[in-house]
Amino acid sequence: MFRISVFVLRILWFLMKILTKKSFCIEEIRPQFPDCIAHRKMGDSERKYRIEFEFRSSNFKAHLHDSGKCDVIVCWHHDWPDVPKGVEVVELKRYFGVSRKVWIQQA
């Protein structure tokens, strides 16, 4: 049986709230790349988005992910100034009003 911790569920809940604010509708969260499949309404049309979760945006490059197969990187800290064109970055710490580096640790 697959079990998930309460901490992970809280992080996922928070993530869903942020993505919903950015007009995303989550279809699937999965263990393989990309981590999430979502849809976003833009006017009268709807588009599918492939989303990857990373602690730092630069981890996307370090993990050798294919930017052609990802539309959005959701991270805590955006530290990759050369993000490939066409890949949107959502930096979560901005929603906390945090401008410095902090650690997220399970209590």
* Residues 93/78/85/30 CA torsion (nearest 10 deg): -70
Considering only residues 24 and 2, tell me which one the structure prediction assigns the higher pLDDT. 24
CA gap 37, 51 in Å, rounded: 6
Q: Dihedrals φ, ψ of 32, to 5°?
A: -100, 165
- pTM (global) more than 0.75: yes
In terms of Cα–Cα distance, which of 105, 74, 107 is closest to 92?
74
Q: Give the percent of the chain with pLDDT over 90.
A: 45
pLDDT at 104 over 60: no
Parallel, antiparallel, or unpaired for β 72-77 and 45-56?
parallel
pLDDT at 80 over 60: yes
Task: Name the token pair of 62.
Answer: 């370090």
Considering only residues 38 and 2, tell me which one the structure prediction assigns the higher pLDDT. 38
Confidence of residue 100 (pLDDT cuts 50, 70, 90): low
CA gap 52, 26 in Å, rounded: 13
Give the pLDDT score at 92: 85
